[in-house]
Chain A
Amino acid sequence: MTADRAPDLECRALTKRFDTMTAVRSVDFSVPAGSFFSILGPSGCGKTTIMRMIAGFLEPTSGDILIKGRSMLGVPPNRRPVNMVFQHLALFPMMNVAENIGYGLRRQGVAKAEITRRTGEVLERIQLPDIGTRKVSELSGGQRQRVAIARCMVLEPDVLLLDEPLGALDLKLREKMKIELKALQAEFDTTFVYITHDQGEALVMSDSVAVMNAGAFEQVGAARDLYYNPATAFVAGFVGEANRWTGRVTAARGSEAEVRTDAGLTLHARGTGLSQGDKVEIFVRPEAITLAHSVHAVEGDANQIAVQVTALLFNGANSRVLVRDPVSGAEIDVALPQSAAFADLDKGAQVHVGWGRDQSLCFAGTRA
């Protein structure tokens, strides 16, 4: 394998143990050149530890990190071809914008005129050409974000690490910056590795997302894969919204299973390798459920339930209906179709819900 064709970043059996706990256990992944890779997981799952190992602030207990095919073990942070955008950006408050951006170049011993030229260039690319002499404290949140990225990108790193940089921004700006970050990545054509606990950020921007839980990767794939074909119960629960039930298999035939939930609801699901009596978890996405006034509309579905509306949660296009199965008492979260038929739906109304066998994602239960 030549260096050119090697992935920009590759981790092999990467493991980090602190005194008593294992923060990262044997993680393998590789990030192809020029792609946007995210690590998504709840706080404390070990994603920051991976990031800090790549940046060089932590040494792995075992395993290897390769950048463009070269092992980074024992290379100090200031010698690695990776740069990092910190959670709170960590711009240098004692320097102005141009000095911030020029800092890394000065460290490399680049000539003064060259520093000025390249700083100006990168400011053009982030579309803030005239802020070089401004103080950091005078910038808006979005401007700081771009300056922090520019400060790294001016060094032309092989990999740019981003540690939840949008966390501190307000909602509107965060939405805007998601799009902007993606555009900047395309503009610089550099590999981005992005860690976040916010699935929205990961799903929107990434070419590929790794879902991480308790120190290990659960699944790596494109956003769409994670959403529609989650490999584990954790991914199904963590990525996107879902109704979740636990129960036992009452009958299993091939890839089809009949499950009775703990609440007493009987569901039909698809799942391989299940046998009668197994504990399982079932996930059903709200938008996969059909809502109907008459039972005929859901006739074809494997799961059909007559329910009563208990609450309407209006949120524009993301509005929801909470319905209750009168037999088991189970509550089901259903997406509200944006059609005139349900415009006058009220609390207490009798409706029917239904969904296909394939929409019931069934996983052998470990946590039931």
Chain B
Amino acid sequence: MTRRLGFFLLLAPLVLWLGLLIIIPHIDMALVSLRARTGPGEYAPSLQNYGDFFTQPLYLMTFARTAIMSVLATLITLIIGFPISYYIAKIARGRSQASLFLLCLIPFWVSELVRTFGWIILLRETGVISNMLQWAGLADQPVEMLYNDAAMMLGLVYTSMLFMVVPLTTTLESLDDAVIEAGYDLGGNGFSVLREIVIPHAMPGIVSGCIVVFMLSLGNYLTPTMLGGKDSLWFTQLIYSQFIVRFNWELGAAFGFCLLGASSLIVWGMLRLSGQTLERTMGEGA
């Protein structure tokens, strides 16, 4: 009996955490998403909100755009993050290894808001880069680099980099140097060793990094809002505006569940495509 009590006490924080902060709000949200306003302060059960999502081209288009851009941001982060992780895990030694890792971590000591403002200061028309280009004679008038998809992509990649580098570095570190050397010794060149040995070994790290970065990008609100241009619409902005600006919690909640469903679907697809399982990637990656 006392053993069971101890078990429940140990489990209590987790159950409270899951129950109070995740499950109960989600159930409430699900209920909210399944009703529609019929008059002032009056609601009736309805699937209208989900219907709106699938019939309004604007919502579907915004969603597709958000998903595609997030996938793109994930790929770019992977392409930039892989060599960095490889360098940290396999080439750098001792202190330089630690300090490189720290360098990836430092941006996260300041808030996301400050980091994003940093990019605004750099990229704006009267910003640092524009002024430097003019000073160097490479541009004869101010250059606007802010308020477009490229700036937004830059912000997304920058924000996500650490979450790609950490799992990648961890999996790459677990690859024995001798295995790479054996790859060369048996006739492989840089490309084939990368393709047949390094990447297959790093696959759990690649997938877990990609899942985290994809989720972060998909759920990012600040970066698209601040760095994106006048055409840029991010799905989280739609959710925010339904909840906060329009007071339309019903549609906002439905959007939230559509986002949850679609991102789960895409992650499942990524796992299937790479032949990984969630246990393996999350177990090894983190």
Contact = CB atoms under 8 A, between A and B. Distances in A.
Interface string A76-120: 111000011011101111110000000110011000000000000
B201 A103 contact: no
* Category for how many chain A residues contact B: 20 to 34
Interface in B163-180: 176, 178-179
Sorting the interface of chain B by its residue count into under 10, 10 to 19, 20 to 34 or 35 or more gives 10 to 19
Output the residue of B179, B181, B182 with the most chain A CB within 10 A.
Answer: B182
Contacts of B178: 86-88, 90
Interface in B135-194: 176, 178-179, 181-189, 192
B205 to A, nearest CB: 13
B196 interface: yes
A84 B197 CA distance: 17
A55 B185 contact: yes
B281 to A, nearest CB: 15
State the main secondary structure of chain A at its contact with B.
loop
Main SS class of interface, B: helix
A108 B181 contact: no
B200 interface: yes
Contact of A92 (B179, B184, B187, B189): B179
Given A86-B178, A86-B181, A94 B201 contact: yes
A155 interface: yes
A123 B176 CA distance: 25
A321 interface: no
Contacts of B184: 57, 76-78
A78 B176 CA distance: 18
Given A86-B178, A88-B178, A78 B197 contact: no
Nearest to A76: B184
Contacts of B200: 94
A212 interface: no
19 contacts: A57-B184, A76-B184, A77-B181, A78-B188, A78-B189, A84-B182, A86-B178, A86-B181, A88-B176, A90-B179, A91-B182, A92-B197, A103-B183, A103-B196, A104-B187, A107-B186, A107-B187, A107-B192, A108-B187
